[in-house]
Amino acid sequence: MTKVQRVWWDYAMITLGTAITAVGINGFYVPARISDGGVSGVGIILLYLLHVPLWASLTILNVPLLWLSKKLWGSRVGLRTVYGTLMLSAMVGIIHIGPVTHNILLATVYGGLLSGVGLGMVFRARGTTGGSDVVARLLLRFLPLTMGQGMMAVDFFVISAFGIVFNPTLAMYSLIALFISSRAVDVVQEGVSYARAFTIVSQRPDIIAAKILEVMDRGVTRIGAYGEYTKEPREILYVVVTRSEVGTLKELVYSIDRTAFVVVATVHEVVGEGFRKPPVEV
């Protein structure tokens, strides 16, 4: 994919992602009076309290936040961010669908999934859809928080407002929607956990490494280390395999060294030989 094609692909992804997010908001969140936090959550509250159209409140709230980000921190507001922010407002105004379900639990689940998938597509295309992160950065000036904690504080404040304006039950459903949408964003950005990373500490690394190459045709990385307990040098083997190969690798290691120390970790995305190919242009 050339650089120009990648740019077009990114903007197409942002457009589709904002459309999917708008379906989740208009079809599920708005009728059920729930949200996964952020600026859209504030917009839903304004919609019910002051009857301000959601697309208008998204624009009114987001544009000043983007300007504030530029003014206070000199941040370069990228075209993808401006496009994603305005496109979400436009999609929310264009896509008019009634309540898809009157079951609040289903609205929570489907709304969270659609919102998360849509936002994940936007983030994967290196765009954003709003400026709630600017509010989080403002909190960092006055409170000893990390950026992640600041974002969580913003979402918690918005969801708490749902409990005050509507009722605590809707706030609880909003928390569930936040969890679902966050997980969906992670899956879209990082992929399903289809791979596992093995860290192997053994007294027979040569034989194990040779067998992995011979039997499984997987690459092995050898890392020099030092055992603090034994006061002896060690070699650590690092291997990434698919989920279906986990049992084979375990059996192979322990058939050679029953005393081997093995750590298995979940890997969300692997780019390289034997797995996904890296993009030509990034």
Same domain, 48 and 69: yes
Give the end of a domain, one of 167, 190, 213. 190
Q: Answer for the pair 55, 71: CB distance below 8 angstroms, yes or no.
A: no
Per-residue pLDDT of the chain (282 residues; tens, 9 = 90+): 678 888 899 999 999 999 999 999 999 999 999 998 889 999 999 999 999 999 999 999 988 888 877 776 555 557 888 898 899 999 999 998 888 999 999 999 999 999 999 998 998 888 888 777 677 767 777 777 665 567 778 888 999 999 999 999 999 999 999 999 988 888 887 776 678 999 999 989 999 999 999 998 889 999 998 888 878 888 899 999 988 889 999 999 999 999 999 999 988 777 776 666 666 554
Domain membership of residue 32 (yes or no) is: yes
Q: Are residues 52 and 147 in the same domain?
A: yes
Same domain, 76 and 42: yes
Q: What is the CATH number of the domain that holds 236?
A: 3.30.70.120
106: Cβ contacts below 8 Å, ≥ 6 apart: none
* Residue 124, burial from CB neighbour count under 10 angstroms (0-12, 13-18, 19+): middle
**Quick one: tokens of 228?**
């603090």
DSSP annotation string for the chain = --HHHHHHHHHHHHHHHHHHHHHHIIIIIHHHT---SHHHHHHHHHHHHH---HHHHHHHHHHHHHHHHHHHH-----HHHHHHHHHHHHHHHH-----S-S-HHHHHHHHHHHHHHHHHHHHHTT--S--HHHHHHHHHHHS---HHHHHHHHHHHHHHHHHHHT-HHHHHHHHHHHHHHHHHHHHHHH----EEEEEEE-S-HHHHHHHIIIII----EEEEEEETTTTEEEEEEEEEEEGGGHHHHHHHHHHH-TT-EEEEEEES--BSTTSBPPPS--
Same domain as 231, residue 186: no
Using CA atoms, how far apart are residues 231 and 208, in angstroms rounded to an integer? Answer: 22
User: Which of 132, 165, 190 is at the close of a domain?
Assistant: 190
Q: Are residues 253 and 120 in the same domain?
A: no
> Within this chain, do residues 156 and 255 fall inside the same structural domain, yes or no?
no
- Looking at the domain assignment, is residue 149 inside a domain? yes
Written as six digits, the tokens of 264 are 């298995």
Task: Identify the domain containing residue 253 by its residue range.
Answer: 195-267
Question: Taking the complete model, does pTM exceed 0.85, yes or no?
Answer: no
Tell me if 138 is assigned to some domain: yes
Number of folded domains that form the chain: 2
Same domain, 209 and 100: no
Q: Which residues are bridge partners to 130 per DSSP?
A: none
215 within a domain of the structure (yes/no): yes
Residue where a domain stops, chosen among 155, 190, 225:
190
- Residue 278, in any domain of the structure: no
Whole-angstrom distance, CA of residue 170 vs CA of residue 167:
6
Please say whether the beta carbons of 22 and 84 come within 8 A. Answer: no
Q: Is residue 53 situated within a structural domain?
A: yes
Note whether residue 279 is domain-resident.
no
CA distance linking residue 150 with residue 208, whole number of Å: 46
The answer to whether residues 62 and 90 belong to one domain is yes
Q: Which one, of 97, 83, 101, lies nearest residue 22 by Cα?
A: 97
Q: Say whether both 182 and 216 belong to one domain.
A: no
- In whole angstroms, what is the distance from residue 192 CA to residue 174 CA? 24
Question: Quick one: 148 and 256 in the same domain?
Answer: no
Cβ atoms of 237 and 278 within 8 Å: the answer is no
The Cα 160–Cα 68 span in angstroms is: 25
Examine the domain organization and report whether 180 and 251 are in the same domain: no
Domain annotation covers residue 141 = yes
Shared-domain flag, residues 137 and 228: no
